Amino acid sequence: DAELDHESLHGGCPVLEGEKWAVNLWVWNRPREGAIIPRKEKGKGEAKPDGQIHFELQNNAGVPVEVFWLSPHGDNVKMGRIEVGEFLGFNSFESHQFGATEEGNPDMLWKHTVIAKDQGGVISVHRT
pLDDT tens digits along 54-103: 999 999 999 999 999 998 888 889 999 999 999 999 989 889 999 999 98
Residue length of the chain: 128
Distance (Å, rounded) from C-alpha 70 to C-alpha 82?
Answer: 17
Residue 3 has pLDDT above 80, yes or no: no
Burial grade of 26 (CB within 10 A; 0-12, 13-18, 19 or more): exposed
- Residue 79 gets the label, from left (phi > 0), alpha (psi -120 to 50) or beta, of alpha
* Percentage of the chain exceeding pLDDT 90: 39
Q: What are phi and psi of 6, to 5 degrees?
A: -65, -20
**Report field, pTM of the whole predicted structure over 0.75:** no
Distance (Å, rounded) from C-alpha 82 to C-alpha 57?
Answer: 9
pLDDT at 46: 55
Distance (Å, rounded) from C-alpha 121 to C-alpha 4?
Answer: 28
